[in-house]
Amino acid sequence: EKKLECDICVSMSGKTVTMLSERNPKHFTYDYTYWSVNAGEGSQNEIFEDIGNTMLSNAIDGFNCTLFAYGQTGSGKSYTMMGGQDEDDAGVIPRMIEGLFEEKDRLEKEPLQELEVRISYLEIYKEQVTDLFAALNSRHAKGESLKIMEHPKLGVYVKGLYLMPCETKKDVMGNLEYGLKMRTIASTNMNQNSSRSHAVFTIIVNRLEGER
C-alpha cells in the first residue's frame, strides 16, 4: 500500500473511528482504539494492559473469556494475537500465558492449592472441524473430522477434541507453535502464507483446593 502511495481511508479521534468518504463518512465507536499507522503507537503492551489483564483475572476467578480476532488478510490479526520474534513484541496470547503461569506459581505456594492447565486447538476449514493436536493423540487420526455436540449442563463442545495437560509456559507455547504449523495455509495477493481457515485455541484452567 505504501509502495502504491495509497491514501489513508480512516481517521481516529478518541474512541471513534471514521471511514473517510467524499459523500458520506461513517463513524464507529469502540471500547478501545489503537492508531498503529505511526511507529510506537498502539503497542503490544498497551493492548495487553487494556484487554489481556482483565481477561486473565476473570479466567483465574472462574469466568469464561473469549478473544475474537477478525479482519481482512494482512490487517494484523496474527501479529496482535501472537506478536513478533522479540520478547518485547509478544502478542496477547503469549503475554496471557506468561501471566497465567505466574499466577499458578503464586497460588501453589499456598497449601492445598493447585492450578491445572489444559489446552486444545481446533481448525474449521470447509465446514469440517479437525484437531490440530490429533497427531499427538493416539485416539484420533490426523485430519479426522470431529462433531460439535451440546451437553445439557456443559453446553457446546467438540466430541473427541484432545485436551492437552501443560505444566509450564514452555509446554503451552511449544504446543501452540506446533498447532500453528498444522494449520491450512495458501497464498493470496496480500499474504504468501495466509491461513485459509478459522482456528480456536482454548486454555482450560481448573483451580483446585483441598486435599486430593
Burial class (CB in 10 A: 0-12, 13-18, 19+), 77: middle
Distance CA(100)–CA(117), nearest Å, equals 9
pLDDT of residue 135: 87
Burial class (CB in 10 A: 0-12, 13-18, 19+), 3: exposed
Give the position of cell 489513508: 8
Mean pLDDT by 10 residues, the chain (212 residues): 80 91 87 81 88 92 91 84 87 95 93 93 92 81 83 90 95 94 63 68 91 70
Alpha helices by DSSP H, the chain: 44-47, 53-60, 77-82, 92-107, 169-182
Residues in the chain: 212
